Amino acid sequence: MTIDYLGNATEEDLPLLKIPYFLNTVRVGWPSPADDYVERPIDLNEYLIKNVAATYFVRVSGDSMINAYIGDGAILVVDRSIEPKHNKIVIASINGSYTCKRLLLKPKICLVAENPKYSPIFIEKEAELEIAGIVIAAINTY
């Protein structure tokens, strides 16, 4: 008997037919009793953000708040929905730009830095001061 070689059965320009099969095995039996106790992994957003709609992130430049553990380049979590109170760290608008300082309401309204190099900013008229939000956390990366 002789064999004539006619060529390969599939030509290269014919598309390959892919037939799907199931990769996942199907489990039969009782579900694991531990399924009820599965917890979600810890989420940093959940810990840091109380009010999503009112929370913004801003980045710090400079060392004026270093003694409040807010370093150069830190990211601040700012919540606009919290009422500004005495001794809170705030984002305030002064002369057309935003700054991060501690707000003191007594004995006199002023914004103080957490660094002796900087002198406090006294607010003469309440209208001049606008608080854009309260700093609720600082994220420093090392």
Partner 1 sequence: MTYALVDCNSFYASCERIFRPDIKNKPVVVLSNNDGCVVALSKEAKNLGIKMCEPWFKIKDSFSKKGGVAFSSNYELYADISSRVMQTLEYLAPKIEIYSIDEAFLDLKGIDRCVSFQEFGFQCRDTVQQWVGMPVCVGVAPTKTLAKVANYGAKKYPGTCGVVDLSSRERQRRLMSLMPVGEVWGVGKKINQKLYSMGVVTALQLADMDIKLIKNKFSSVLGRTVMELQGYPCIGLDERPSTKKQIIVSRTFGKKINSLQGLHEAVSDYTVRACEKLRKEEQYCQMISVFMRTNYFRQQDKQYSGMLSCKLNSPTNDTRDILNAARSITKKVFKENYNFIKAGVLLSDFYDDGVSQSDFFTPNLDRLGGKDLMATIDKINQTGIGKVTFAAQGLEKSWSMKRSLQSPRYSTNWNELLVVR
Q: Which residues are catalytic?
A: 64, 101
Taking CB under 8 A as the criterion, the residue among 2, 6, 9, 20 binding partner 1 is 20
Sign of CA dihedral 130, 80, 53, 114: positive
- Asked if residue 69 binds partner 1 (CB under 8 A), the reply is no
Nearer to partner 1, 16 or 42 (CB): 16
- Asked if residue 88 binds partner 1 (CB under 8 A), the reply is no
Stretch in the footprint of partner 1 (CB under 8 A) among 16-24, 25-33, 40-48, 119-127: 16-24
Query: Rounded distance, CA 80 to CA 125, Å?
Result: 22
- Asked if residue 139 binds partner 1 (CB under 8 A), the reply is no
- Asked if residue 100 binds partner 1 (CB under 8 A), the reply is yes
Element (H or E) spanning 46, and its range? helix 44-48
Helix, strand or coil, per DSSP, at residue 66: helix
> Using CB under 8 A as the criterion, which residues of the chain lie in contact with partner 1 when the complex forms?
15-20, 23, 51-54, 56-62, 64, 75-76, 80-81, 91, 93, 96-100, 130, 132
